Amino acid sequence: MRIICLLFLTWILLTGCGPKRPLQEIVDAKIAIQKAKEAGAREYAPKRLERAQDYLTQALGAKRKKEVEELARESEVDARIAESVAKRIKEEKKSRAEETLKTKRLARQEAERAIAKAREVINTAEKENKEVGVAKDTLRKARATLGKERFKEARKIAREAKELALKAGAKLPEYHKVKKGETLKIIAKEVYGDPEKWVLIYRANKDKIKNANIIHPGQILSIPKNNH
């Protein structure tokens, strides 16, 4: 009986019967398709992924080894392209999202600075017993608009509040403490409403500012009147 079993196993090995290992090209194509799916090709490169899957299906149904290999290679190539396209599009979307967040953050900071400046001018006016009721109402509107994340509109309204306070007789602040990220143009825009008037601040602070492009958080700068 043992001899019969050995003869049977020998016959299987010689005739090539028994389970066959899939061609490496088929394995590679399947792996490439799976990677493409994981990269998001279903969403970002669906046609290329579909073509890769079609080639694989054809390869699995082909009879001749050469045909199987060629179709499987085509499948792998398309799958790799689908993976690459999906990764690129995802990276571009991520980059755009980060840029949008950055723009939004900067807009919020500008609005907050405008509101702070308006509040400072209004507070100064109140100490001088100026009538700034309308300016205060406008400032409250600016804060409410900021809370709704309409940053550009909030900045505009805050500047209107400051102008109303100035028209009521308020004075511009005489000093400004530099905050992180500020430049002379940013300060001039908040104080005068015109970034090009940075030169007024620079001239008034030449003893503190060696380079007009470099100011440091915490510096106290004199703010000259607009008619200088």
Q: Which residue has the higher pLDDT, 65 or 228?
A: 65
CATH classification (class only), 172-228: alpha beta
Residue 39, pLDDT above cutoff 80: yes
Domain borders along the chain are 20-90, 172-228
Supply the pLDDT for residue 8: 46
pLDDT, tens digit (0-9, with 9 covering 90-100), for 65-74: 999 999 999 9
Q: DSSP letters of 184-210?
A: HHHHHHHHHS-GGGHHHHHHHTTTT-S
Residue 47, pLDDT above cutoff 80: yes
Exposure b/e, 172-183, CB count within 10 A at least 16 = b: beeebebeeebe
